[in-house]
Chain A
């Protein structure tokens, strides 16, 4: 049985390890699978081409900060090599366990998206394995680049990547936490701290009323010269932990977080504590054993407060409550056809998978689409074709490219089938 990070949907699949020096696409329709951290059905198909063995570093120039690696390398391993030599990934997501290939496929963003843009901004070139055509080198600006970055693996297998890193003088972050009570306050705080490099907000949406509180966390990379990377070993979930997960206990957990987060605080913390708090718990998704559904959307700047207001009203009328909610102001969109970020506000909410939650998500879709926003495909397992097309008008470019290059029948995931790509 094989599934994404959210457990549902799951299915039987043949797992094929992409061997080093791979130069041919499998015979059967297949999709690349990296670390398996996409939440939904992006890396599910009859045949999965796993990149777990494509984890070699090919070259690292510690003078220029350029790195060439295979696509299965995890961001954790990458940072372990580059940080001690003074270089950091320009874009760091919320978990270090994703692969470089996955980061490109979802064109992931980090806490500095408002300054740095998405992961593809760091890509100098990539080698793409195309069915029937072997490996081609793709550079920024080319149609294949625009299709591949954010393209959820639907153009083939990213085999090798060259990345341009940023100089870093520390593996620690000077961080501060700024409490807020509602979204207006949060937006004002966020405006005030717009020049800070890293920023992300935690919201408590677990109560009856729309928002019980929250806090904006901002940070700058320190400059103390301490560039050694040390990960703390991740703690296992206690057995049967998922039995204790319910709306009530998660509201209590949010109470605790709010109690902690509502005080102003600052300090110097490790890279891990700032960027990867959830990585401390080994496979935390098992808290949601019957399925984890995350709804992450972005809405454009000019309508964001109206759109999020409507969405939270809709949430307040439902019986479901998100257990964890994260908000961030995003910077400008890039040209990639299916890239998620756009200038505006993004909100990600974790729910247990339940019928009422699925219904709620459908209503969310209408609100998001109506305001010109979109849902993050890396987190999605249930968006309808119509909604997808409304949210990602460039889908036609990808569909045409897939048709013209003969990818539509060979590079196939459950996501591409669902969204008719």
Chain B
């Protein structure tokens, strides 16, 4: 299995890559912005497992070049993992249009412009799996991070459509609705410790879901219950809450 990982230096992406080797991954292209960080992850994978690892410079906001970047890949991947994302600062996004734009592009626009050419190639071949990191934040907008949440909500809808389109051609799309994970993204938040999970667990969950062909998974699974509760609050009440 040949695997392309977008945003490969995030701890969840690293964990997913490691877990995919157990599922038969034999070659990786790790894509991201920082060459030093990419090299670190590439060396780790190559030293741990008997796999081929390449790195490639990729920036989610660089939409003009996404199609040619995909065309330059050494192979059409059997599995794609999308782990690019930017949580950003909600407060800043409310006043700084550039920041809001960056959040929307990293989490949504850039994924669309990258996945379209990839989907086309995989569709033409007639096989493959695409696993994308969505977020439980995209299931209901909250005042504390709705710019990020809305980008993820758009992403979820996009993936639902893509899955629908590619199903007949044997290409599978997995949407992972991820809860709180102990990563640099959440480092500065004071989150309830019992609800923060380890990147390794989430990565293993995503790898398993992709191989099994699950469409939408909550990682960890208990977020299904939490979000069911949060989603069932009537909007007239929800708008009065401080969330």
B40 proximity list for chain A (CB < 8 A): 20-21, 56, 58
Residues of B31-60 at the interface with A, using a CB-CB cut-off of 8 Å, are: 36-37, 40-41, 43-44, 47-48
B184 within 8 A of A: yes
A35-71 Cβ-contact flags toward B at 8 Å (1 or 0): 0000000000000000011001111100000010000
- Contacts A17-B187, A21-B36: A58 and B44 contacting too (C-beta < 8 A)? yes
Q: What is the CA–CA distance of A53 and B11 in the complex, to the nearest angstrom? A: 8
**How distant is the Cα of A56 from the Cα of B49 in the complex, in angstroms?**
12
List, in ascending order, chain B residues with CB within 8 A of A19's CB.
184
Residue A324 at the B interface, CB < 8 A? Answer: no
Beyond A20-B37, A20-B40, A21-B36, whether A57 also contacts B48 by CB under 8 A is yes
When chains A and B are docked, how far (Å) is the Cα of A60 from the Cα of B49?
Answer: 10
A383 within 8 Å of B (CB atoms): no
Residue in contact with A58 in the complex, picked from B9, B37, B43, B187, CB distance below 8 Å:
B43
- Which residue of the partner chain, among A20, A21, A81, contacts B47 with CB atoms under 8 Å? A81
Using C-beta atoms within 8 Å of the partner chain, give the interface range for chain A: 10 to 19
B43 engages A56 (CB within 8 Å): yes
A21 to B34, CA, bound (A): 11
* Bound-state Cα–Cα, A280 to B224, Å: 30
Interface size of B by CB at 8 A reads: 13
Contact between B47 and A58, CB atoms less than 8 A apart: yes
Residues of B within 8 A of A17 (CB): 184, 187
Bound: A67/B41 CA distance, A = 16
Pick the contact of A57 from B9, B36, B44 — CB < 8 Å?
A: B44
B2 CB, nearest partner CB in chain A, Å: 22
Report A-chain residues with C-beta under 8 Å of the C-beta of B184: 17, 19, 53
CB proximity of A126 to chain B, nearest CB, Å: 18
Contact partner of B43 (CB less than 8 A), chosen from A53, A57, A67, A81, is A57
Which residues between 181 and 228 of chain B lie within 8 Å of chain A, taking CB atoms? 182, 184, 187
Minimal beta-carbon separation of A12 from chain B (angstroms): 12
Bound-state Cα–Cα, A58 to B40, Å: 7
The answer to whether A21 touches B37, judged by C-beta atoms less than 8 angstroms apart, is: yes
For the complex, what is the distance from the CA of A81 to the CA of B187, rounded to whole Å? 29
Among residues of A, the one whose C-beta sits closest to the C-beta of B198 is A52
In the complex, what's the smallest C-beta–C-beta distance from B225 to chain A, in angstroms?
A: 21
Question: A55's closest neighbor in chain B, by CB?
Answer: B44
Q: B44's closest neighbor in chain A, by CB?
A: A56
User: Within 8 Å CB of A56, what residues of B?
Assistant: 40-41, 43-44
Instruction: Let me know if B37 and A59 touch, CB within 8 A.
Output: no
**Residues in A whose Cβ lies below 8 Å from that of B182:** 52
Set of chain B residues within 8 Å of A59, measured between Cβ atoms: 43, 47
Give the residue name and chain of the A residue nearest to B42 (CB).
Answer: A56
Which A residues touch B41, using CB under 8 A?
A: 56
Q: Which residues of B contact A (CB under 8 A)?
A: 9, 11, 36-37, 40-41, 43-44, 47-48, 182, 184, 187
6 example contacts (A-B, Cβ-Cβ < 8 A) are as follows A20-B37, A21-B37, A56-B41, A57-B48, A58-B43, A60-B47
